[in-house]
Amino acid sequence: MKIAVIGAGVAGLATAIRLANKGHEVTIFEANSYAGGKLTQIEQAGFRFDAGPSLFTLPHLVDELVALSGLPKSTFEYERLDTLCHYFYEDGTIIHAHADPERFATELAEKTGVDRAKVLQHLQKSEHIYDLTADLFLKNSLHRVKTYLLAATWKAIALLWRLPIFGTMHQLNTKQFNDPRVVQLFNRYATYNGSDPYQAPGMLHIIPHLEYSIGAFFPKGGMHQITKTLLLLAEKSGVKLELNQRVKQIETANGAVKGVRTEQGIFLFDRVVSNMDVFPTYRRLLPQHKAPEKILQQEKSSSALIFYWGIQGTFPQLDLHNIFFSKDYEGEFKAIFRDKVLFDDPTVYVNISSKHHAADAPPNCENWFVMINVPANYGQDWKSYIERSRQNILQKLERMLGTSLKERILTENILDPVAIEQKTSSHLGALYGTSSNNPLAAFFRHPNFSNQIKGLYFCGGSAHPGGGIPLCLLSAKIVEKELS
């Protein structure tokens, strides 16, 4: 078949690679002059920054694509991290989250006094949730009857009573630990898909398993190597990539796709896969069809405000991933999701890829990717928010690191929700499409196919199974199954 893929994000590239290796003729249409979507890079004043996602888990999903394309495993290389993150608290506590569960449990016990056995039990619970639900929620369509006939599905249903289907992540973590610092550390995992731990279901406790059992990794050369590898695989697989080609409309007739329209004309295809956010897909590309309004009006995930700072000097107390926690975590999430404003004491994430890839910064310098979670763009005054947040972030980091930073900033770039939406077509700049603040959120995501339009499929963060690199790569696998 001739298949069009709209958008060269991670999911779009992975879908194209999979379909091309099935023998289909695949063309990707990308509005930008570059591929990768959010997973791109910034090069400025001798510094290189990974512009978007900075955490890498489930690397075997990229390995699969390398193998499918007939290239050696060495095509894409990565290292497993020994330390997942350094956590900094306002009371002076610093926790080094070792990747090894035993060492991590010892670290928490020594720094906070929590029962070491309870930490290991908590991580085992995360693994148990993953083992029972991954086939249902991550590897198959939730919107096909055949999924519910699988043995794995019935196994999960039979053991529902052992899963945290009632209560929030915060309630689950509070029940397990009596130390607020440990609760805050495990609450943080809700942000991995742009959600609020005080609303998100306890089932999201599946996320720590990805890091502590399967592992967190760093691609050699940085996160943008993922995009570079996918582009290489697409070329090797015979995918045609059309950059600077914005799709204006998906052409349909008699309830089925016929092709796509760009500024250069109409191109006929047998199937169309949209890697574009489902909201603009319907509003812009399918104005002639009724949209699934309940899905489109769901609560959006959080967005991000990111400062890319080239920093003079080095900081041995920092690692690749670093978190500086807010003193009032619940207040921060109320500001983001209820009030749609920026919090004056935000949790600050600092990613420094030059810790593992020295070429990302000049000698005696570091490349800081400094991010705070913010609401999606509802028309807030982002200019004033950016100025105020910059000061709040600098004051917080200077206080907690015990040094002045402002004069160390040699170069700066900024990304806010408005720019995220403009560059990636993510509705309102939401990083993960819809939030997972509802116990049934997984079932309410847009399916990987259209029930109304034959031959139309969806991949990427706004469709099932959700946002983030691993889930986007998994959405490509599901689309491949749907098209088989």
Q: Which of 247, 240, 276, 287 is nearest to 264 (CA)?
A: 247
Of 168, 191, 213, the residue that ends a domain is 213
In terms of domains, do 145 and 193 share one? yes
pLDDT tens-digit profile of 271-286? 999 999 999 999 999 9
Residue 195 belongs to some domain of the structure = yes
Does residue 266 sit in the same domain as residue 354?
A: no
Residue 289 inside a domain? The answer is: yes
Longest dimension (CA), the chain: 66
Task: Decide which of 213, 230, 253 is a domain's last residue.
Answer: 213
Q: How confident is the model at residue 480 (pLDDT cuts 50, 70, 90)?
A: very high
Look up the domain containing 259 and give its range: 2-35+221-297+438-483
pLDDT (tens digit per residue) in 68-87: 999 999 999 999 999 999 99
pTM, to two decimals? 0.95
- In terms of Cα–Cα distance, which of 334, 361, 306 is closest to 437? 334
In a domain, 366, yes or no: yes
Residue 240 lies in a domain: yes
pLDDT one-digit tens code per residue, 325-356: 999 999 999 999 999 999 999 999 999 999 99
| Same-domain check for residues 258 and 321 | no
Do 125 and 195 reside in the same domain of the chain? yes
Q: Looking at the structure, do residues 316 and 407 belong to the same domain, yes or no?
A: yes
Does residue 219 register a pLDDT over 60? Answer: yes
- Whether residues 329 and 264 fall in one domain: no
Provide the token pair at 214: 């399967």
Both 312 and 397 in one domain: the answer is yes
Give yes or no for residue 359 having a pLDDT over 60: yes
Residue 231 sits in the same domain as residue 290? yes
Q: Are residues 250 and 347 in the same domain?
A: no
Asked if residue 267 belongs to a domain, the reply is yes
Q: Total domain count for the chain?
A: 3
Close Cβ partners of 156 (under 8 Å, ≥ 6 residues apart): 132, 133, 135, 136, 163
Judge if 137 and 166 occupy the same domain. Answer: yes
pLDDT score, position 153: 67
Same domain, 287 and 368: no
Does some domain include residue 48? no
Same domain, 345 and 274: no
471 touches 286 (CB < 8 A):
no
Last residue of a domain, one of 213, 241, 269: 213
Peptide bond preceding 465: is omega within 30 degrees of 0, i.e. cis?
Answer: yes
CATH of the domain at 255: 3.50.50.60
> What is the C-alpha separation between 317 and 252, in angstroms, rounded?
57
Residue 357 is assigned to a structural domain of this protein:
yes
Span 185-205, average pLDDT = 95
- Tell me what percent of the chain is helix, strand and coil, each rounded to the nearest 5: 40, 25, 35
- In a domain? residue 98: no
Q: 297 - beta bridge partners? A: none
**In this predicted model, what pLDDT tens digit does every residue of 148-158 receive, in sequence order?**
666 766 666 66
Residues whose CB falls within 8 Å of the CB of residue 140, separated by 6 or more in sequence, listed in order:
147, 150, 478, 481
